[in-house]
Amino acid sequence: MAKITLKNTITSDSIGELPSVGTNAPAFTLVADDLSDKTLADYAGKKKLLNIVPSLDTGICATSTRKFNEQAGSLDDTVVLVISADLPFAQARFCETEGLKDVVALSTFRSSFPDDYQVKIIAGPLTGLCSRAVIILDAENNVIYTEQVPEIGQEPDYDSALSALKS
């Protein structure tokens, strides 16, 4: 169980630990902006950067989405998935307003993703949201990088994530 802090005070726990590097990623079904289901299989043959955030309606989540859009979205054979508990309509509005064309926003609405990937916050004021995490999968869906960001108000380690994605 990962301890998640909010403003440097331990306020939350996540349900468990992120999938381990070297393992095959759990299958998932998430919801796209048109309310269709998107699965891990929909991105077969591509590297996948999973930018998991509590809500796009917060500064740090918005910043990480913009940065990964800019720095990783145009890489060959790569897809950047931003995953949050926001409703698909809000995610689409955010991406349109921000002009983000190189990320795919997916909602955990109707999904077991937070439990399957062990990112569900289970205690504290953010209960039910996803913790901030980055998981990178290779083209065969093997986990090649993970980062559980310990402080909700902290940005992920972009350099390490991008380095793993490019290797």
Active site residues: 61
DSSP annotation of 98 reads H
Instruction: Count the Cβ atoms, other than its own, within 10 Å of residue 69.
Output: 20
Residue whose pair of structure tokens reads 């349109």 in the numeric block? 96
Query: Strand 37-39's sheet: what is its strand order?
Result: 37-39, 29-31, 104-107, 78-84, 47-52, 133-137, 143-148
Q: Positive or negative CA dihedral for 117, 121, 126, 132? A: negative
Encoded tokens for 31: 């919801």
Spatial separation of the C-alpha atoms in residues 102 and 35, rounded to whole Å: 19
Which of 137, 132, 136 lies closest to 155 in space, CA to CA? 132
Spatial separation of the C-alpha atoms in residues 40 and 29, rounded to whole Å: 7
